[in-house]
């Protein structure tokens, strides 16, 4: 029975008590329908008597007793009790409590949908890493959190747009192009000495590995090419092994055609092609981890003139200037009056030398966002905390106060058997997100990265996450789903291949054998607990959406899996030799099993994790 139904019963009882003269007239506000923490206090409780005491000029307990006396019999309520200072506790009949099993099976993927968003058009922007290197593990966490949040918001009736902002404008793109170009020339140099492309590639990678291992740079003779690379670029470079990979692909496509070409003619080509290469790698990684975007927004696009020769960023500045929110200093720099909107200082948009700041792009991007949607959510790393106010001040200035929300996330500590995995930004060494997926798998990786609140640091132990036993939460949850699928296949008399062709919903329908199963037969405590847990899902989705907290789903599915394993131990579902089960009781239990299967699969889908039918 839903909280809405209990709310309706409470309101009807108050109206009946007022009409009978047992309660004075007063306006009923929130009836305070909640789940008791202790199931011995019933399935639902109402705090309306406590909330209405001042309005009614009565003791809460007297209000509660009058209300309870007018709750109609039947309606799926087995008992109503007044407890404490004025709580009204509702105990459901077995049939009413268990009706959720039927509801889940009827609603399928729509179960648990709630109207928190009221259709609000909302953009969620996340990851948004520079296209100058592969995604790392921290980016992977934003992928897991961002995509899961989008799924939850969608289930809560937000109109969601997923967006990735490509930081492809600025000096870092030139540095990236020059890094790839230098590595390409080193390959060409080795090939000119008589080595094959593969041999030259292996030598550069070995040279780089020696540089990484030489922690205190005590043996420069072991890594001359890495040292030459750093010296040529003044230490301002991208030194990861992936740069050598891209350089090799350049040689495979072009041979040595760029040897001897002037620097200014060469670098733009390397910059653009390396950028497209890396962007495609990022897109492939996101898709692989089931995190696809509706829009990949290029920062460069804001600087491209339209047919009238005016760029989007120019239009944005003109809009702010018309509002009187920009000014120039004597040196010619252009400033935004962000202090008018609570920022601690005004922010420069164009430097005195005419160079646009990074913040200038953010200003244009903010306006673009609100041309598309009505509300914005960004997910940033905790190190960007100081940037929040200036961006929100732009949204306020543009007429969208309180509509630019920023979630900060903590980072990931990567471990192996409890020991930190060594990484160095200076040496260009890291575990990429793709490499982590290769080793741990998509399901275990996504589940682990979403398993805690975004404001908590995660310790990701690769070996622990890979374990195929009940110590690994994702395995534990997926195994519960697979166990149910096995039971349903046996009940339906089909094998795994036949079930795959039919689909598990059809298998379950065949196993249960119609819709006329009697849920009132399910009276064991473990059966009733399963029903209670399934009934929590709508409230779960609402809280996850309101609080931007999709991590709670992992807690929920672990609790549901635990409840199911307890049910499996205490309640025989199918008859076996020497252990008969009443046919109708078996059907009801199969329906309950199927409802649990559907809810497990649905919640795993919301966090981007598969629900295997066999393990």
Task: Write the pLDDT tens digit of every residue in 101-112.
Answer: 999 999 999 999
The pTM of this model reads 0.91
Q: How confident is the model at residue 424 (pLDDT cuts 50, 70, 90)?
A: low
Q: What is the pLDDT of residue 421?
A: 86
**Residue closest to 267 by CA, chosen among 181, 171, 187, 188:** 181
Burial 279-289 (b: 16+ CB within 10 A, else e): bebbeebbeeb
Q: How confident is the model at residue 531 (pLDDT cuts 50, 70, 90)?
A: very high
At 210, list the tokens.
């020696």
Distance between CA 571 and CA 454 in Å, rounded? 38
Q: Indicate the SS3 state at residue 268.
A: helix
Single out the residue of 194, 107, 167 nearest to residue 535, CA to CA: 107
Strands 412-416, 44-46: parallel, antiparallel or unpaired by DSSP? unpaired
The pLDDT score that the predictor gives to residue 426 is 56
Q: Which domains does the chain have, with CATH numbers?
A: 3-92 (3.30.1360.70), 171-288 (no CATH), 304-409 (3.40.50.620), 473-606 (1.10.730.10)
- Give the mean pLDDT of 576-585: 91
In this structure, are strands 159-166 and 295-298 parallel, antiparallel, or unpaired? parallel
% of the chain with per-residue pLDDT over 90:
87
| Higher pLDDT among residues 304 and 94, named by residue | 304
Instruction: Give me the count of residues in the chain.
Output: 615
Instruction: Using CB atoms within 10 Å of the CB of residue 50, give its burial: 0 to 12 exposed, 13 to 18 middle, 19+ buried.
Output: middle
Closest residue by Cα to residue 139 from 154, 129, 131: 129
- Write down the pLDDT at residue 497: 95
Look at residue 39 and tell me whether its pLDDT is greater than 90: no
Candidates 169, 603, 153, 607; CA nearest to 357 is: 169
For residue 411, pLDDT beyond 80 = yes
**What is the H or E stretch that residue 169 is in?**
none
CA-based torsion, 216, 430, 209, 179: positive or negative = negative
Sheet hosting strand 334-336, strand order edge to edge = 326-328, 334-336, 347-350
Backbone angles phi, psi at 449, to 5 degrees: -70, -20
pLDDT at residue 74 tops 80: no
**pLDDT tens digit string along 187-228?**
999 999 999 999 999 999 999 999 989 888 899 999 999 999
CB 585 within 8 A of CB 594: no
Taking only the tens place, the pLDDT of each residue in 122-138 is 999 999 999 999 999 99
Largest CA distance in the chain: 103
Measure the N-to-C terminal CA separation of the chain; round to a whole number of Å.
34
| Burial of 561 (C-beta count, 10 Å sphere; 0-12/13-18/19+) | buried
CB 562 within 8 A of CB 473: no
How do beta strands 159-166 and 121-125 pair? parallel
Whole-number Å distance between alpha carbons of 422 and 410 = 19
CA pair distance 53, 29, nearest whole angstrom: 12
Residues 6+ apart with CB under 8 A from 124: 146, 149, 150, 153, 160, 161, 162, 163, 377, 378, 379
Helix (H, G, I), strand (E, B) or coil at 33: strand
- Yes or no: say if 112 and 538 are a contact pair by the CB < 8 Å rule: yes
* Rounded Cα distance, 403 and 391, in Å: 11
Q: Which of 16-25, 70-79, 325-334, 603-612 has the lowest mean pLDDT?
A: 70-79
What is the predicted pLDDT for the residue at 13?
94
DSSP string, 391-446: HHHHHHHTT-TT-EEEEEE--EEEEETTEEPP-BTTTTB--BHHHHHHHH-HHHHH
Q: What is the pLDDT of residue 48?
A: 95
**Do 496 and 615 form a contact (C-beta atoms < 8 A)?**
no
pLDDT of residue 316: 97
Return the closest-CA partner of residue 531 out of 593, 574, 483, 582. Answer: 593
The pLDDT score that the predictor gives to residue 95 is 83
Classify residue 215 as left (phi > 0), alpha (psi -120 to 50) or beta: alpha
> How far apart are the C-alpha atoms of 145 and 135, rounded to whole Å?
15
How many other CB atoms are there within 10 angstroms of residue 218's CB atom?
7
Report pLDDT digits (tens) over 551-566: 999 999 999 999 999 9
pLDDT for the residue 205: 96
Query: What is the rounded distance in angstroms from the CA atom of residue 304 to the CA atom of residue 285?
Result: 28
The residues, any chain, with a CB within 8 Å of residue 378's CB and separated by 6 or more, are 124, 125, 126, 391, 404, 405, 406, 407
Is the per-residue pLDDT at 429 higher than 70? Answer: no
pLDDT at position 492 over 90: yes
Compute the distance between CA of residue 484 and CA of residue 479 in angstroms, rounded to an integer: 9
Q: Which residues contact 104 (CB under 8 A, 6 or more apart)?
A: 111, 534, 595, 598, 599
386 pLDDT more than 60: yes
**Both tokens of residue 348?**
């420069």
- More confident site: 309 or 577: 309
The rounded distance, in Å, linking the Cα atoms of 592 and 602 is: 15
C-alpha–C-alpha distance, residues 437 and 446, integer Å: 9
Q: Is the pLDDT of residue 339 over 90?
A: yes
Per-residue pLDDT band at 43 (split at 50, 70, 90): confident
Beta strands at 87-92 and 77-83: parallel, antiparallel or unpaired: antiparallel
Predicted confidence (pLDDT) at residue 170 exceeds the cutoff of 90: no
Closest CA to 415 of 433, 435, 431: 431
CB 60 within 8 A of CB 85: yes
Distance CA 455, CA 31 (A): 33
Q: Is a pLDDT exceeding 80 seen at residue 266?
A: yes
Please answer whether residues 436 and 140 qualify as being in contact, where contact means their C-beta atoms are separated by less than 8 angstroms. Answer: yes
225-248 mean pLDDT: 93
Report the mean per-residue pLDDT for the chain.
94
């Amino acid at each position: 029975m839903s909280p809405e139904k209990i709310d309706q019963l409470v309101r009807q009882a108050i109206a009946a008590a007022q009409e009978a003269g047992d309660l004075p007239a007063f306006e009923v506000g929130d009836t305070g329908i909640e789940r008791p923490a202790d199931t011995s206090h019933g399935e639902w409780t109402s705090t309306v008597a406590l909330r209405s005491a001042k309005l009614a000029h009565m003791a809460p307990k007297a209000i509660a007793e009058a209300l309870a006396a007018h709750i109609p019999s039947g309606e799926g309520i087995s008992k109503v009790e007044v407890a404490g200072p004025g709580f009204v506790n509702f105990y459901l009949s077995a049939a009413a409590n268990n009706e959720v099993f039927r509801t889940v099976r009827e609603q399928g993927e729509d179960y648990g949908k709630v109207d928190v968003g009221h259709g609000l058009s909302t953009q969620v922007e996340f990851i948004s890493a520079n296209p100058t290197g592969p995604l790392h593990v921290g980016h992977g966490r934003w992928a897991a959190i961002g995509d899961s949040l989008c799924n939850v918001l969608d289930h809560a009736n937000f109109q969601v747009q997923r967006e990735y902002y490509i930081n492809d404008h600025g000096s870092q793109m030139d540095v990236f192009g020059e890094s790839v170009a230098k590595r390409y020339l080193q390959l060409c140099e080795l090939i000119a000495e008589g080595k094959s492309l593969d041999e030259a590639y292996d030598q550069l990678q070995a040279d780089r590995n020696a540089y990484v291992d030489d922690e205190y740079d005590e043996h420069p003779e072991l890594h001359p090419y890495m040292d030459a690379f750093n010296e040529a670029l003044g230490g301002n470079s991208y030194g990861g092994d992936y740069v050598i990979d891209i350089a090799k692909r350049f040689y495979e496509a072009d041979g040595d055609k760029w040897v001897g070409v002037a620097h200014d003619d060469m670098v733009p080509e390397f910059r653009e092609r390396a950028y497209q290469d890396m962007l495609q790698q990022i897109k492939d990684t996101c898709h692989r981890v089931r995190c696809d975007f509706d829009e990949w927004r290029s920062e460069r696009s804001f600087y491209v003139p339209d047919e009238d020769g005016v760029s989007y960023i120019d239009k944005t500045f003109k809009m702010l200037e018309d509002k009187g929110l920009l000014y120039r200093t004597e040196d010619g720099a252009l400033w935004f009056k962000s202090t008018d909107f609570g920022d601690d200082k005004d922010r420069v948009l164009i430097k005195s030398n005419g160079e646009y700041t990074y913040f200038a792009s953010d200003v244009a991007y903010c306006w673009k966002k609100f041309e598309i949607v009505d509300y914005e959510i960004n997910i940033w790393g905790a190190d960007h905390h100081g940037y929040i106010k200036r961006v929100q001040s732009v949204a306020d200035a543009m007429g969208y106060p309180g509509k630019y929300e920023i979630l900060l996330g903590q980072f990931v500590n990567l471990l192996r058997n409890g020991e930190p995995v060594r990484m160095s930004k200076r040496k260009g060494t890291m575990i990429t997100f793709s490499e982590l997926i290769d080793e741990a798998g998509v399901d275990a990786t996504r589940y682990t990265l979403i398993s805690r609140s975004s404001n908590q640091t995660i310790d990701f132990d690769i070996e622990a996450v890979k374990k195929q036993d009940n110590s690994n939460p994702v395995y534990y949850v997926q195994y519960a789903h697979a166990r149910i699928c096995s039971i349903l296949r046996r009940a339906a008399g089909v094998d795994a291949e036949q079930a795959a062709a039919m689909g598990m919903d059809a298998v379950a329908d065949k196993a249960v054998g119609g819709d006329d199963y009697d849920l009132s037969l399910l009276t064991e405590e473990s059966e009733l607990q399963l029903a209670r847990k399934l009934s929590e899902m709508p409230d779960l989705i609402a809280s996850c959406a309101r609080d931007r907290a999709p991590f709670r789903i992992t807690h929920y599915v672990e609790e549901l899996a635990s409840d199911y394993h307890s049910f499996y131990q205490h309640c025989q579902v199918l008859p076996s030799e020497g252990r008969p089960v009443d046919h109708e009781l078996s059907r009801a239990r199969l329906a309950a099993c199927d409802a649990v299967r559907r809810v497990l699969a649905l919640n795993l889908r919301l966090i981007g994790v598969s629900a295997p039918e066999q393990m």
